[in-house]
Amino acid sequence: FQDEEDMFMVVDLLLGGDLRYHLQQNVHFTESTVKLYICELALALGYLRCKHIIHRDIKPDNILLDEHGHVHLTDFNIAAIVKEDLKATSIAGTKPYMAPELFQNFEGSHPGYSFSVDWWSLGITAYELLRGQRPYVMRSNTPSNEILQMFHKIHPTYPAAWSLEMKSLLRKLLSIDVQKRISCLAELQDLDYVSDVNWDAVLSKQLSPGFIPNRRRLNCDPTFELEEMILESKPLHKKKKRLARKTREHGSDGSPQSGLLQSRLDNVQRDFIVFNREKTKMALVDSSELSTSEKNKAIEDGQNNNVEPASYLSG
């Protein structure tokens, strides 16, 4: 819907925060948790490919968690639509997560790029979640030619504690050679590492992630939200005064449709009751027969909320 100034989009409420926030809170993501994240995001990339969409900005900041710990891809501000057998050529993304062919395209040594760039970004993200740092150290001001040299001179290291299967998967996602990189859902599903995955259960979010955000926390940095509000050129909390001033200055058009619309909007504003689903859920928990210790365990296990995930097997 829209008003005189803005268009509003209603999206799903995701209360778990983004993965960047949890990395900054020193959350340790286990390999089984990251494996499930990869599978859920791979399904998202498979869907986007069916719609001919390249996301171009996959990173922890753009991956949100719901209250159960499942990942959701967001922020399609720089996404591109690419038809079959065609390639994108514009440069877009966040440098530490951008695939080599994006920089090669910028330097004129690569004829465009396609869906494979998102799978590279997925590999960088998975590596960072497991290790707490990215495989390549670069900044937003690092020149493209230096980044290309880095890709050829520096080989990512993989801790011995990681399974051989996970290391093999990351190497396939982080292959500089596009032809050797995993670049579609079917190629990922062919790997032995995910042969035990029940993909229908992943799609329907029936598998419990190993990390569940604390529902009693905000799961975001409130100072960041405050800064955005302060820096906003047309802050939302002052919109009512702006629109009233505009009406006084220009006057109403006086049409019956305008008066009827305003009347309905006034009724909605007066009668609408905000539904607090968290309050409802807490009431249900309090009325259950769980013991106090069981309730506390259900809320948080005390170890970064990492819990044992459900089996990937289909049964």
The band of 235, judged by pLDDT with boundaries at 50, 70 and 90, is low
- pLDDT (average), residues 172-187: 97
Give the residue from 63, 184, 170 showing the smallest Cα distance to 126.
170
Distance CA 23, CA 219 (A): 11
Tell me what pLDDT residue 287 has. 56
Q: What is the pLDDT of residues 24-78, one digit of tens each?
A: 999 999 999 999 999 999 999 999 999 999 999 999 999 999 999 999 999 999 9
Annotated active-site residue in 6, 12, 57, 196: 57
**Partners of 211 in beta bridges:** 306
Q: In whole numbers, what is the pLDDT of the chain averaged over residues?
A: 83
Tell me what pLDDT residue 75 has. 93
Q: What is the pLDDT of residues 127-175, one digit of tens each?
A: 999 999 999 999 888 999 999 999 999 999 999 999 999 999 999 999 9
Distance CA 184, CA 122 (A): 12
Domain coordinates of the chain in residue numbers?
A: 19-203
CB 50 within 8 A of CB 26: no
The band of 299, judged by pLDDT with boundaries at 50, 70 and 90, is very low
- pLDDT (average), residues 267-274: 70
Distance CA 237, CA 244 (A): 13
Is 196 considered catalytic here? no
Residues 14-53 as b/e (b if ≥16 CB within 10 A, e otherwise) read bbbbbbbbbbeeebebbbbbbbbbbbbbbbbbbebbeeeb
Tell me what pLDDT residue 266 has. 76
19-203: which CATH topology? Transferase(Phosphotransferase); domain 1 (1.10.510)
- Token representation of residue 187: 């190629």
